[in-house]
Each structure stands twice: as structure tokens, then as C-alpha cells.
Amino acid sequence: MARNVTVRLGFEGNISDVRLVIPDDEPTPWQWGEPLAVVGREMARVDGALKATGTAPYTYDVELPGMLYGAILRSPYPHARVRSVDLSAARRLRGVRAAIERGEAVVRFAGQEVAAVAAVSPAIANDALALIKVDYEPLPFVIDMEDAQKPSAPRVFAGRANIGAPAVFEAGNVRDGFERAAAIHQAVYTTPVQTHVSLETHGAVARWEGDQLTVWCSTQGIFTVRDDLAVLFNLPPDKVHVITAFLGGGFGSKFGAGPEVVIAAQLARAAGAPVKLMLPRAAEHVATGNRPNSWQQVKLGAGRDGQLVAIELLERGSGGIGGGAGSAGPYRTLYRCANIRTEERDIYTNAGPSSPMRAPGWPQGCFALELAMDELARKLKLDRLELRRRNNANPVRALEFELGAKVFNWHEKSRAPKALGHRRRGIGVAAAAWHGLGSAGPQAQAIAYRDGRVVIQIGTQDIGTGTRSILAMVAAEELGVPLRQVSAEIGDTRYLFSVPSGGSSTAPSNTPAVRQAAAHLKDKLLRIAAPMLGADPASLEARDGTIRVRGQPSRAVSFADVCRSIPADSLCAQGERPPNYAGFRTDQAGCQFAEVEVDVETGAVAVLNVTAVHDAGRIINPLTARSQVNGGVIMGIGFALFEERRLDPISGVMVNPTMDDYKLAGPLDTPEITALFVEVANGVTNTGVLGLGEAVHVATAAAIACAVYDAIGVPVRSLPITPDKVLAAVGKV
Amino acid sequence: MVQSTNRFFCAMLRTKSAYWRAADGMRLFDPESSTACYTCVLTQRPAGPDGLPADVHNCSPDRACFKADH
């Protein structure tokens, strides 16, 4: 059954009544201006103390009686035939309990798994790896994307071309568009391979009890790991139990059961004992996935008024032995243009595989498109922000440009002197878009106990963004109780199903299920309270820790007293997350402003401040929302200035697989970050929450690159913007 | 996203979107995506057990390792 509701939706200055059809048992979506008691207030994370004191149990911390330690032997060759693997000497080593081989006939990147052992200590496991004899037949390899496209290049996959089929998008006619253009800009932009560097490395602890497999796993998807393992070990899903109490980051690389998880389970079964296998840092860089590199030939055409008349992208990218290296999303989305053509091709190389990474394809595409926009603006003699405004079709982003420019002092900084001795200051702006709407699927359970506690259970996981906190806040809001009375239990496949934490979907997918479960629980509690108040349940509301007659606050009974009347130990209700409603808008706009200082003697770039303006729908907890902005911006600084996988051209081996040599942005590189949210009541779900994790990362590197261009007057079209590139740009080397 | 039935895709093929399901219960594949990274669950890598690429375009019924997703 469904019902019609009319709700006030929109954003400041653009509010309208929107009619929605929602399930009969679904709470009415929160609307514009709705007064909320818990949601929208800054709340410290409910598990913050556990994390700050180091007592939050991550997979890395799991210790079991009789547990063994696993280690993986990896190929030193980027391409080789594996003629034989001799495990006998490793098996004879004292303390070794199991040794297995992967059984791959050919390895295609340096670092690919070949064999593994489990031993009573990590040291013995590593000693055992040295005793494994592998007879390799090295094969010709190619690691450079340009080389891989040559007809004579070694084939990464026998019998298959290294160049993938083109993915072509066309709207209008770009040739006609360029013919009408008053100004055209064309250039090539490149971005490097960025490796995954989650603070907690990939890994798992696996334990078999008969045919029951329990896995503590560092994963973004407990149910996806469960299902993958069930397939691999031919088990029904209920025979696989996956637990992720806390997760030290994933960024897209930890969805299913990766090799290290499968190997841990294989070793545990072979050894008849639990096995812990957490990857060392070097393996994390080499083998757990990466953001592919890109070569982007960009051509933009505009009229004298700055209106874009044609956008063309020719793109190549390599995800090593994997694909998914496209970056055309921003070209098709960010700006209004009638004539757009994009062509993307994956190039195979003998290097570690790609995997999803925070807004796949978008930071690369945004960097090239936005720096090209700045170069076009210079040809048109237009202010760069004004050029973007003229081509922006999104009313939310129009407000964001206005708000951001004001807070960032765009116009004042535009007029400020750029040179300060050997330092140059510059500013940049870049647009962002995403689609963190979430999806149907999650199911939640809400339980009220006789002592007044409320527990929310749902099989999601916290990727590090404060999921427990926002779920508890939503339930507290719906039940009208203080946050301290509510806790959220997650990270266990024994709870009801939820989707993986990816695609910025955790908050928008799970909060509606939790709100519905809490609403159903509230209905049950209202029915208990009704006779206590001599009122009809339909006339009651739950607010301020009481259940009371609507409009008569004095006719109330405390939530705790109602719970004491539960005719059992507890009262529970379930909720599920319906599909998205049409709502007000289903897109997600953002923009970021950056100011940099460039030392033209050393080439060093320092980011001074970033103003990030984003639409996150309904903000549940501004504190954790700001934390997500901070994280996205800091990661974007790393992409802009530091991060790059380097492969040795002779051996094909990664030469910087450490956090010393693969530089991330650290505290000294972190600028002042101002997070601004344009709250949009979107009505897409009952909470209206949008995911933030990826949206806040898309534009950072682009804004920084534009700021560097503004500072030195020369575009650096290749990320990372390292000192040598800056010095070359200003003619110092 | 193009919501495409997975009837023609191998049951062992994995990609991020396919960990979600459409309203009809089918896994979500988007053959037009240029950013989708694929793996084979049997190898946990972007190649199947036969050593050929594992992705939505290559994992077809003519491969010996193909398993129908019914």
C-alpha cells in the first residue's frame, strides 16, 4: 500500500511543495525547515573515545587462541610463466603449519600472489617464504602506457590487444560547435597512478569450526565478503560469518573477498587453526588496487560570451592488468554544452590492477577539464569564476559559487598582488558533482528494552565516517529520546542485511532503514502509552524523552515509564529502505576554492586554504560531515602535489611502496579548510541524506592546479605538481 | 547507471555495482561504465581461471570457465 504526501522541498530561495508517493508504513520525509531535536546538531562520535584510546577493535587487533600468522609470496617478475612451485622446504620448517600455492600458470604484475604459508609467528612465516622454490620463466613485459599501445608491445593477455575498445559518448556535433567558437583551447593533461593507502591494510582473520567459517575482515562490505567466500568454499551463506567491528579505511579497495582474505581462509582450513593475514605496507601499495593513470587530450570551444559550444575529450588510461580507467564523467556533467564528445580507452600494462578509488575517474577528469577551463578563460579575458557561472546549469551550484566566493574572498584575492619576493600566490576554483543518493536494500532492527535503552542493529559497517553516531542520531530523533539512550550495533552479518559502504552510499542507504525501524518501534510504544494517557495512539507523539498527547505537553508519560510497561524483556521492530523517490533534485553539486603559495626558487607548492561548498542533503551530524570534507580535501592535496606510483622500467617493480617514499599529505601539508554546506531538502528518502565521501574529493586537485596556474602564470598540466615540474614551468630548469 | 540484467554475465564476475541489486533482484551491471573495475571471484583478479581478461565484455558463454548466473 502507498500513500500520497506533500512536502516542502528545496533549498534557500528555491522551495516548493512536492507531492511524493511513499509506502504506507514509511515516515514522511523530513522537509524544508522541519524542526529537529537531535539531527543537525554537532555530536561527538559515540565511539570516539574507543578510537582515541586505541581500544576500538580493528581486524588488525583480533587475537584468537592457537592463531597462526599468514604470509604471501609474491612474484618478483612483472610477467612470467610459473613452471613449478616447491613448498617442501617451507613445510619442513619448524613452526610452519600450512603452505599452499595459488596455482596461477602466469603472473602478470610484480607483486602477484604465488604461494602462502601459515606459521606460529610472523617471523617464521616470513622465513618460510624464503624457502619456497619457484621456477619462473620470465616473459616480455610492458609497464608504460604509451609503449603498451605500440604494435610491437608484449601482450599483457595472450592473444588479446593491450588497447581496449573505445567507450564513446556523443551529444550534438562537436565539429559544428568548434566551427562556431570564438576561442578554442586544446592541450594534453596527465595524472599518475595513485595507490590505495588505507591506514589499516587489507587482511582478515579466518577460523573454521567444522563447516562454519568465521572471518574478521577489514572490509567495506561484510555481506559481499560473506557471499564471495560462500561461492569459493561452496557453502551456504549462513555458514559464513563476517565481522568488521571497526575499519581503518577502504576508499573503494575493500569490497569483496580479495586474495588475502581467501588465502587466510584456505590456510586456516589447511592448518586446522585460525589464521591471521594482514598485508604488510609494501603489499598494500603493490597489490590492493589503485586509481588508474590518465592521458587526456582536451579541446574546449566557447563563444565570445564565454558560453561553451563544444567539449571534446580523447582519453587513455591504464589500470595495469585491470580496466576502468575512464575519466569522462565531469566532461558530460559539470557544464552546460550542446556539443560534447568523449572517447575513453583502457590500456593494459603489466602493473598492479586498478580498483575503485574515491570517486572513480572524477578527480582525474575534473583536474584536466577545470585547468583547461582556466586556460580558456585567459584566452577569453574572462574571470575564471564568471566563466564557470555562465556555463553552470545547476541552481544549487550557482548558490554554492556565490557562497563560496564570498567566504573565500574570491574577488578581493583576485585583485591582490601575486608576487611576494620569490613566492607567488594564486587562487583557483573548481566545480564538483556526484550522486550519493544511496539505494534500497538495507534492513534495520530497532529494539527498546525495559530499562529505556534503545539498540539499533543493521548489517552495515563504518568505513571510518562515524556511522554508528549518525544511525543512533536518526533513531533518537524519531523516538524523541536523548542520543545517550540509543546505541547502534553494526559490522556483523548476523544482523539484518545492508549494502557495502561504497559509492557514498552508507548514510543515504542506511539512515532511511533505521528511521523506518525506529518509526515502527515508536508505533508500538505509542500503543503501550495510549491507555496510560487515556488517549488514542494516533493522537500521541514522542518528543523530549516523553510520549505525550500532541498539542498537550502536560499530558505525558516518560519514555522510560513506557518502556517499563513493555510486556517482555524487549520490544522490537524492523524497517527497510525503500527505493529512492523522485524528490526535488537527484543530483549533487559542489565546488571548491583553493589558495596556494608557490616558491619559484624551490618549486614547492603550499596550499594555504581551501573552501569547500557542498550539497549533502540533510546533514545529520555537522561534525562528522566536516570531518569528511577534511578527509576528502587532504586526500586531494596528496593527489595534486605528491602521490605517484613509480615503477622501475628495467624490472617492472614498484620502487616506492612505502609511506616514506610514497608521500601522502600530512599535517604540515594540511591547510585551513572551511566546509560550507548548502542544505537541500531533497525528499529522495525519508531522511534526505546524501553521501559526502566522494563529492568532497572530486574538485580539490583541480582547484589547486588552477591556483598554481594563477600563481605562476603557466599551467602545470601533469599531476602531481612536484617542484621539478614547477621549476620547469617557470623556466628555472 | 544503466541497469542491465545479469542473465548474460558470468556468475563469477564481480564489480562494485554488481554488489547491489535491482528491484527485480538481479545484480547491477553497467556495461557502458568506463570506470568499472572487474574481477573474477575465482581468481580475485581481473583475469579468469583461463588467463583471459575478466570483465563485462570478455566474460562470455564461449569461455570454458563461464558460469551462468541463474
How close is the nearest chain A Cα to the Cα of B47, in Å? 8
Name every chain B residue with its beta carbon within 8 A of the beta carbon of A346.
Answer: 34
Across the interface, whether the CB atoms of B20 and A228 are under 8 A apart is answered no
- How far apart CA A357 and CA A153 sit, in angstroms, is 28
Confidence of residue A393 (pLDDT cuts 50, 70, 90): very high
Q: Which residue of A has its CA nearest to B20?
A: A499
Most A CBs within 10 A among B21, B27, B34, hence the mutation to make, goes to B34
User: How far does A498 lie from chain B, in Å, by closest CA?
Assistant: 10
A508 touches chain B (CB under 8 A): no
Determine the Cα–Cα distance for residues A350 and A388; give it in Å rounded to an integer. Answer: 40
- pLDDT tens-digit series, residues B19-47: 999 888 889 999 999 999 999 999 999 99
Q: Which residues pair with A432 in a beta bridge?
A: A590
**What single letter denotes the amino acid at residue A64?**
L
pLDDT bracket for residue A585 (50, 70, 90) = confident
Looking at domain A66-139, does it have CATH number 3.90.1170.50? yes
Any chain B CB within 8 A of the CB of A503? Answer: yes
Angle of helix A622-641 versus helix A362-380 axis, rounded to 10: 70
- In this prediction, residue B3 carries a pLDDT of 52
Distance, in angstroms, between B2 CA and closest chain A CA? 14
Cβ–Cβ of A324/B35 closer than 8 Å? yes
At A586 the pLDDT is: 86
Mean confidence (pLDDT) of chain A:
97
**Helix-then-strand count for chain B, H and E:** 0, 2
Cβ-Cβ contacts under 8 Å, B20 against chain A? 439, 441, 499-500
pLDDT digit string (tens) for A90-133? 999 999 999 999 999 999 999 999 999 999 999 999 999 999 99
Which is nearest to A390 in space by CA: A349, A360, A431, A420? A431
Q: Pinpoint the alpha helices (H) of A600-712.
A: 622-641, 695-698, 700-712
- Asked whether the beta carbons of residue B23 and residue A228 sit closer than 8 angstroms, the reply is no
| Rounded Cα–Cα distance for residues A104 and A108 (Å) | 10
Across the interface, do B37 and A324 touch by the CB < 8 Å criterion?
yes
Report, as an integer, the average pLDDT of A513-541: 98
Interface predicted TM-score (ipTM) of this complex, two decimals: 0.95
Residue B63 C-alpha, separation from nearest chain A C-alpha, in angstroms: 14
Q: Which residues in chain A are contacts of B16 at CB distance < 8 A?
A: 252, 255, 356, 500, 502-503
At the top level of CATH, the class of A394-437+581-733 is alpha beta
Q: What is the mean pLDDT of residues A635-658?
A: 98
Q: For residues A681 and A11, is the Cβ–Cβ distance under 8 A?
A: yes
Looking at residue A107, its pLDDT comes to: 98
Picking from B11, B19, B52, the nearest residue to A221 by CB comes out as B19
Give chain A positions within 8 Å (CB) of B17.
503
Q: Say yes or no to pLDDT of B4 above 70.
A: no
Distance in angstroms (rounded) separating the CA atoms of residues A435 and A317? 23
pLDDT tens sequence across A29-76: 999 999 999 999 999 999 999 999 999 999 999 999 999 999 999 999
Of B32, B44, B51, the CB nearest to A257: B44
User: Would an 8 Å CB–CB cutoff place A439 in contact with chain B?
Assistant: yes
Q: Reduced to 3 DSSP states, what percent helix, strand and coil does chain A have, rounded to the nearest 5?
A: 30, 30, 40
Where helices occur in A135-288 by DSSP H, the ranges are 145-148, 174-180, 222-232, 259-271, 281-287
Once rounded to an integer, what is the mean pLDDT over residues A384-397?
Answer: 97
Alpha-carbon span A428 to A418, nearest angstrom: 13
pLDDT band, very low/low/confident/very high, at B7 (cuts 50, 70, 90): low
Better-scored residue on pLDDT, A417 or A172: A172
* Cβ contacts of A231 on chain B, cutoff 8 Å: 11-12, 41
- Which chain A residue has the Cα nearest residue B30? A324
Q: How far is A111 from chain B (nearest CA, A)?
A: 12
Give the distance from residue A261's alpha carbon to the nearest chain B alpha carbon, in angstroms: 10
A502 neighbourhood in chain B, CB within 8 Å: 16, 19
Chain B positions with Cβ closer than 8 Å to A: 11-12, 14, 16-17, 19-21, 23, 32-39, 41-47, 51-53, 55, 57
Number of CB atoms found within 10 A of residue A603's CB = 21
Minimum CA–CA partner of A360 in chain B: B35
- Res A182 pLDDT > 70: yes
The minimum CA-CA distance between B13 and chain A, rounded to whole Å, is 11
Q: Comparing C-alpha atoms, which of A121, A4, A36 is closest to residue A688?
A: A36
Please give the interface size between A and B, counted as residue pairs whose CB atoms are below 8 Å apart.
102
Q: Which residue of B has its CA nearest to A292?
A: B35
What mean pLDDT do residues A141-157 have? Answer: 98
Residue A15 pairs in a beta bridge with: A10
**Measured between alpha carbons, how far apart are the two ends of chain A, in Å?**
71
DSSP A203: E
Report the run of H or E that residue A547 belongs to, with start and end.
strand A546-549
Enter the C-alpha cell of residue A361.
575517474
Among B17, B37, B52, whose Cβ lies nearest the Cβ of A323? B37
Which of A202, A354, A497, A505 to mutate: most B Cβ within 10 Å? Answer: A354
Band (A1; pLDDT cuts 50, 70, 90): confident
Report the C-alpha gap between A460 and A499 in whole angstroms. Answer: 7
Nearest CA to B30 out of B55, B11, B66 is that of B55
Count of C-beta atoms within a 10 Å radius of residue A121: 11
CA neighbor of A488 nearest in space, from A544, A434, A446: A446
Distance CA A72, CA A130 (A): 11
Contact A105 B37 (CB under 8 A): no
Q: Where are the domains of chain B?
A: 1-59
- Tell me the three state secondary structure of residue A442: coil
> SS3 for A118?
strand
Question: What mean pLDDT comes out for the span A541-555?
Answer: 97
Query: A112 at the B interface (CB within 8 A)?
Result: yes
Please indicate whether, in this complex, the C-beta atoms of A361 and B34 are within 8 angstroms of each other: yes
If you measure CA to CA, which chain A residue comes closest to B48? A104
| Residue ranges of chain A assigned to CATH 3.90.1170.50 | 66-139
- Does the beta carbon of A677 lie under 8 angstroms from any beta carbon of chain B? no
Decide: B56 and B38 in contact? Cβ < 8 Å: yes
Partner B contacted by A108 (CB < 8 A)? yes
Residue A670 has pLDDT above 90, yes or no: yes
Nearest residue of chain A to residue B43 (CA atoms)? A259
CB contact under 8 A, B16 and A321: no
CA A228 to chain centre: 21
> A197-288 has which CATH code?
3.30.365.10
Q: Lowest mean pLDDT: which of A184-188, A297-301, A567-571, B21-25?
A: B21-25
The whole-angstrom separation of Cα A80 and Cα A78 is 7
pLDDT beyond 60 at B5: no
Asked whether the beta carbons of residue A353 and residue B46 sit closer than 8 angstroms, the reply is yes
Q: Is the pLDDT of residue A714 over 90?
A: yes
Residue from the list A255, A322, A344 with its beta carbon closest to the beta carbon of B34: A344
Across the interface, whether the CB atoms of A323 and B33 are under 8 A apart is answered: no
Q: Residues A155-161: contacts with CB within 8 Å, 24+ apart?
A: A156/A79, A156/A108, A156/A321, A156/A348, A156/A349, A156/A350, A157/A108, A157/A321, A157/A348, A157/B47, A157/B51, A157/B52, A157/B53, A158/A106, A158/B51, A159/B52, A160/A348, A160/B52, A160/B53
Minimum CA–CA partner of B41 in chain A: A228
CB atoms under 10 Å from CB of B58, counted, come to 19
A140 vs A138: CA distance, rounded Å: 7
Q: Where are the alpha helices (DSSP H) in A430-505?
A: 467-479
Residues of chain A contacting residue B42, judged by C-beta atoms under 8 Å apart? 232
CA distance B26 to chain A (A): 12
Domain with CATH 3.30.365.10 in chain A: 197-288, 394-437+581-733, 441-579
CATH class for the domain made up of A441-579: alpha beta
Task: With beta carbons under 8 A apart, name residues in chain A contacting B45.
Answer: 112, 259, 321, 353
Please give the single-letter amino acid code of residue B20: W
Task: Decide if A160 and B52 are in contact by the 8 Å CB cutoff.
Answer: yes
Helix (H, G, I), strand (E, B) or coil at A254: coil
Contact B23 A344 (CB under 8 A): no
d(CA A435, CA A195): 24
Residue pLDDT, tens place only, A190-204 = 999 999 999 999 999
> What pLDDT, on the 0 to 100 scale, is given for residue A290?
98
- The residue length of chain A stands at 733
Directed axis angle between helix A362-380 and helix A700-712, to 10°? 30
Contact B46 A356 (CB under 8 A): no
d(CA A638, CA A174): 34
Residue B70: its pLDDT value, please?
Answer: 66
CB atoms within 10 A of CB A290: 28
